Structure 1
Amino acid sequence: MAASGLARPSSVTVPVARRTAVRAVGTLLAVELLAVALYLRVTNTGVLAPRYTLYPFVWINVGVWVLLRRPAVAAARRRRLLAGAVAVAYFLLLAVAGGLLGGGGMSMPARIAWLSPGWGPALLYTGDWVSLTVIPFEVVGYAVLATLVYTVVLAGARSALAGLLGVATCVGCLWPFGAALLAVLGGVGSPLATAVPGVAYDLSTALFLLTVGMLYWAAGRAA
């Protein structure tokens, strides 16, 4: 009797935890959809392809989920410094490849572009030496990839090869988002807007998910 009494709480805790997680995810998705609906209503903006409006939430939600579940790796201070340096370099590489960070030009004051939630609000700045195009979901996505690379490098040098493969994958696939933002800011009828194929959005998101999954798997295996 005592044994069965002790086993009962664990059998109840698991379903409760799952229900709590499902409710949290459902609430998050509802808030995101509500934010998009409010934005479309307030700005009187039409949606030609709903999936492009929702892709930023795929990046953000998957990224947060992976970060919450990534393994903790114990390592010496020297290894942590090395892994941190690799992660920072990886983030900067993605930022440049994705159009978030670039060279300067004609100096312009910083401004906010009120794009669809996830795409915006975007911070735009051009200085004499540097230009910034801060798109929320890109920043989150890059930070997630950099954190996973940090974890992989921390776990072992052999697993770091997965991070290098992630660089090759994402650097080649993230450029369409920077071009797409310029197309939006330049106008739907601009030459740049017509030059960006719609499939670029789908490909970039698919490759982002592939790279996240690969790095997450490598981190879990090495930990």
Structure 2
Amino acid sequence: MSSSDRALINAFREINGMADRINLAKTIVDRANNLFKQVHDGKNLKGRSNDAISSACLYIACRQEGVPRTFKEICAVSKVSKKEIGRCFKLILKALETSVDLITTGDFMSRFCSNLSLPNMVQKAATHIARKAVELDIVPGRSPISVAAAAIYMASQASNDKRSQKEIGDIAGVADVTIRQSYKLMYPMAAQLFPADFKFATPIEDLPQM
């Protein structure tokens, strides 16, 4: 067996193992394998570790299959750093001239809220808040994940199921300060962001001010 074939087999095994640990479907594994093979055959990423390329391919496959995972989630089952996965991700997109659909705040909302054990009412409000904040251009240049996290923080603080920035940040894979920056932009417009039928346990004027 050539060293090239061996590298492919090892990478496919690695991708499969990572996908297994975060319960990803076989269609995602197949797509990630296919991406890895294209990169490998094109010798596009010489000098990058196969583990980093495998992780980045899995990240791209998730996005393209419509079930995005954060870099942090992929990193948790990978042998490489978030930074290295991010670097390979950019290089692969460039090398294959492929694109990934733009991530929206809604892609993460249900998973983050369920991991935080938040009720449906809070999830619906957070989804609404994030969408409105983007529509009204209150959060220009902020990443969808940080906007989603800030929206969850705002919705939970207005409910009986309050969650701290740290709790939300740990689940979303963003720093407290990142959530705080997005929340700060959203807070002055809070009255326009909540759904009309939201039942406030804590009124807007009593929400945390940063």
Decide: shared fold, TM above 0.5: no
TM-score by length of structure 1 reads 0.26
Higher-Rg member (1/2): 1
Q: From the two aligned structures, give the one with the greater strand fraction.
A: 1
Query: Which protein, 1 or 2, shows the higher relative CO under an 8 Å CA cutoff with sep ≥ 6?
Result: 1
